[in-house]
Amino acid sequence: MAEPSSTSPSVTSSESTLPPTTADVQPMSERELKEQKAFNNWRKTLSRITGVGLTPEEFKEEVAKADRKQCELQREQLVKTSPGVRFMMNNLAKAGCPLTKNMLECGPCDATKSGGFSNHHGILLCQNGFFSKKHMEHTMIHEMVHMYDHCVFGVDWHNLRHHACSEIRAAALSGDCNWTREVRRGFYTFTKQHQECVRRRAVLSVEANPKCPSRAAAEKAVNAVFDSCYNDTRPFDEFY
Ligand SMILES: [Zn+2]
């Protein structure tokens, strides 16, 4: 039979050394106080503008809601008015892989991405990843080229050369590498500017493939197929 716990001297003494569980017992550090004060001031300003008091989580949610609304609105506009987007949608339908509305989703992504294609779910547009409507248009066409390649050429995404070929075509045909975007990135050169941009972007995308072991392997795959894939502009007649 166990001894009654009251006979053990450790019980009461260990209880008395437990740290306090309520947060307000522990004082804030100097830095935390400063941050809290800055946030409170900022929130007051925000509340004056919006008329509501928001916690940081609520504010984040509001931003996400606004991002999604903006993304969905621009998606509608681009589907109606962008010649490149409409052209790709028509060609996907002709190829037997129509892009339906529920395959073109707006959603949050990590900060480095603007879009993605999955052969199971379709195209994801990163609602927090666009710095302009033009950028979103290029991203839509870029992902549609991937979808087209998957549908028409049966790309094996685990094969780095296959992946490289589709990235080269997507970068070249989407407008990702048009002049103004390149100037903004500071990579502008007079000669071969477009090709170098396509090559650089394709390498970065292939490098992100879980099957790719290194930057060198990505470069090797891109170089191996560059000329033939760069010059294959299907379904476009030439670069958009
Ligand atoms: Zn891509």
Phi, psi of 107 (to 5 degrees): -160, 165
| Ligand 1 centroid from CA 189, angstroms | 23
Closest CA to 161 of 238, 197, 169: 169
| Ligand 1 centroid from CA 191, angstroms | 24
What pLDDT, on a 0 to 100 scale, did the predictor assign at position 183? 59
The per-type count for the chain, helices as H runs and strands as E runs, is: 9, 3
How many residues are there in the chain?
240
Q: Is pLDDT at 50 greater than 90 in this prediction? A: no
Degrees, nearest 5: CA angle 114-227-213: 55
3-state secondary structure of 91: helix
What residues contact residue 217 under an 8 Å CB cut-off, 6+ apart? 160
What residues contact residue 226 under an 8 Å CB cut-off, 6+ apart? 164, 168, 199, 202
Each residue of 137-172: pLDDT tens digit? 999 999 999 999 999 999 999 999 999 999 999 999
**3-class DSSP string for 60-95:** HHHHHHHHHHHHHHHHHHHHHHCHHHHHHHHHHHHC
| Ligand 1 centroid from CA 149, angstroms | 11
| Ligand 1 centroid from CA 81, angstroms | 23
Question: 């992504």: which residue's tokens?
Answer: 109
Each residue of 96-140: pLDDT tens digit? 999 998 899 999 998 788 999 998 889 999 999 888 999 999 999
- Weakest-pLDDT range from 83-97, 158-172, 176-190, 204-218: 176-190
Closest CA to 97 of 159, 137, 144, 136: 144
Half-sphere exposure of 185 (CA within 13 A, CB side): 18
| Catalytically active residues, by annotation | 143
Closest CA to 168 of 199, 214, 135, 137: 199
Query: Between 52 and 3, where is the model more confident?
Result: 52
Largest CA distance in the chain: 90
- Weakest-pLDDT range from 5-14, 200-209, 211-220: 5-14
Distance CA 159, CA 161 (A): 6
Q: Is pLDDT at 75 greater than 90 in this prediction? A: yes
Domain ranges of the chain: 55-154, 157-240
